Amino acid sequence: MTQFDADAMHRLAKLALDAGEVATPEAALALFQQYRLRIHLGEGWANTLAGQACVLTAVSTASRALLGGVEVTGDLTPVIQVPLFAGRPAADVVAALGGTVMAAPTARLPSLLIGDGAPPEGATLALRPSWDGWWAQVAPADSAGHLTVGDDNPLAGVCAGALAVSEVFSHVRGDSPEAGYRRIGVSLWNPLAIEDWHAPENRGPALAYLPTDLWLIGLGHLGQAYAWGLAMLPYPAQRRPRLVLQDVDRVTESNLSTCMLVGADDFKGRKTRVMTRRLEAIGFEIDLVERRFGAQHRLQPGEPTAALFGVDNVAARRDLDTAAFALVVEVGLGSGYRDFRNLRLHTLPGPRPATELWPAQAASQSSTELNTAYQQLARDSGDLCGVTILASKAVATPFVGAFAAGLALAELVRPLHGGGVHASLDCPLRSLTHRLGEPTPANAHCAFIALP
């Protein structure tokens, strides 16, 4: 009987095994239970949907990555307004997302200050995420130059929250000496702007249009991050999007460490049904497709012609050429302990077809090599098969997925406001200034609604 259930292992703590830092899955979890965070909510954090999206994204992603716990202090009196949690008290939502509301915070923790006010006292590190229009930034809390909100764009809030947690993670892991002591940011209006990302022309216009009638293919790590971002946007209650949700998998224990819209009560349920319950409850119109995406995929009259693709499978990506979508935004994430914070985005149709972007030979399964820790586990357990399956699983975490979803959704929203798209976009979250891409004029639009 297999002793190592690959679908039960925490997908971020697994990196400690992959890197050879620990010898057992239990030791990997114990290491990650030493990582903690305090989030302090200052004045005005809830005045914008972007601010709310920032807080909720930070709490949700940090609670799944920093297993020692996420303490939340400060102003928890507002009622949440983003569609996914509209009408619920902030304290209740924070608790539901895995945060612990504290009146007396623990000293000597890395901290995020979200909103206005003085940096938290006694913090080992204090960062402040901020946002304005299509800009998202993270900087030391006691530094100058924080963004002042003019236009409200929740996608910037999602990216700011995810980026802040990424910086804290790099700091506690000690894998990036600059993490937590630098100002970093991105313009979702022009993600290839590096030094001048905060130039006025890269702030972008006010949100006036939002996509609707979308196909979400794959409802795991990325697919749920896409849905999270969509559910933060200011859709009118009577005009929430129509989504086609496509997946065949059920919720596993490891999904709790990577997926933003599932909880322990959803274990073993179909991802399509779990997502449908969450999204229909807030007014989204949902259709289900419970079969694998492949070469047989054809659009029927009246079905959405724009898709967000989140399947980590080369063969399925190659089949995007035959699906006849007018627009596809596809994201692939790194899977190893060194590159799991890297993402590559494609917008299709583009200069090259999917079959050229992903050659057939790229779909071949490479053998899994076991490092010393996994070899010892195999010897101790006598379960070489189970250990090999565990070793082959990707390292993943939702703060990477949430940031990737913000970029992907911007590819849908930007053309609706007169901006272009990117045939490709490479973005290493650990070193944000090293992003590369291939801009191209918008060649297709998704269905949209105008905001009141």
Tokens of 182: 């630098």
| Orientation angle between helical segments 49-65 and 154-173, nearest 10 degrees | 30
pLDDT of residue 103: 87
| Residue 363, pLDDT score | 60
Contact yes or no for 59/94 (Cβ under 8 A): yes
**Residue 192 shares a structural domain with residue 213:** no
For the question of residue 259 being annotated catalytic, the response is no
Cβ-contact 89, 80 below 8 angstroms: yes
What pLDDT does 105 receive?
84
- Predicted confidence at residue 435, as pLDDT, reads 95
Q: What is the mean pLDDT of residues 316-329?
A: 93
The CATH number given to whatever domain includes residue 186 is 3.40.50.720
Q: Are residues 182 and 288 in the same domain?
A: no
Based on the domain organization, do 219 and 267 belong to the same domain? yes
Q: What is the pLDDT of residue 295?
A: 87
Residue showing tokens 């996994």: 374
Give the mean model confidence (pLDDT) for residues 208-232: 97
- Does 179 share its domain with 264? no
Same domain, 226 and 116: no
What is the rounded distance in angstroms from the CA atom of residue 65 to the CA atom of residue 165?
9
Residue 366 binned pLDDT confidence (cut-offs 50, 70, 90): low
**pLDDT tens, residue by residue, 333-347:** 999 999 999 999 999
Reply yes or no on whether the pLDDT at 367 is more than 90. no
Average pLDDT, the chain: 94
pLDDT value of position 4: 73
Instruction: Please identify, among 202, 237, 267, the residue that sits at the C-terminal boundary of a domain.
Output: 202
Sequence letter at residue 277: R
Who has greater pLDDT, 226 or 177?
226
Phi, then psi, of 14 in degrees rounded to 5? -55, -25
Least confident of 134-138, 190-194, 441-445: 441-445
**Which whole number is the average pLDDT over 38-49?**
97
Cα of 409 vs its chain's centroid, Å? 11
Contacts of 130 (CB under 8 A, 6+ apart): 136, 137, 138, 139, 146, 147, 148, 149, 160
| 315 three-class SS | helix
Q: Which of 145, 176, 202 is the last residue of a domain?
A: 202
> What confidence tier does 364 reach under pLDDT thresholds 50, 70, 90?
low
Q: Which of 42-46, 166-170, 360-364 has the lowest mean pLDDT?
A: 360-364
109 lies in the same domain as 224: no
**Rounded average pLDDT over 240-245:** 96
Q: Which residue in the list 54, 159, 385, 427 is annotated as catalytic?
A: 385
245, 162: one domain: no
* pLDDT at residue 135 greater than cutoff 80: yes
Does 152 share its domain with 130?
Answer: yes
Mean pLDDT of 165-185: 95
- pLDDT score recorded for residue 5: 82
Task: Indicate the residue type of 412.
Answer: L
Q: Both 260 and 123 in a single domain?
A: no
Indicate the angle between helix axes 154-173 and 221-230, nearest 10 degrees. 140
Band (pLDDT 50/70/90 cuts) for residue 88 is: very high
pLDDT at site 264? 92
* 370 and 429 housed in the same domain: yes
* 324 and 434 fall within a common domain: yes
The 110-114 sheet, strands edge to edge = 100-101, 69-74, 36-41, 110-114, 125-132, 135-140, 184-187
Count of domains observed in the chain: 2
In this prediction the pTM is 0.96
- Are 329 and 289 in contact by the 8 Å Cβ rule? The answer is no
* In the chain, % of residues over pLDDT 90: 84
Question: Which tokens is 134 given?
Answer: 């299509």
Mean pLDDT along residues 410-417? 96
- Window from 66-80, 151-165, 294-308, 416-430 with minimum mean pLDDT: 294-308
Structural domain that includes position 135: 35-202
Lowest-pLDDT choice from 65-69, 164-168, 446-450: 446-450
pLDDT band with cut points at 50, 70 and 90 for residue 1: very low
Q: Residue 228: what pLDDT? A: 98
Given this model, what pLDDT does residue 137 score? 98
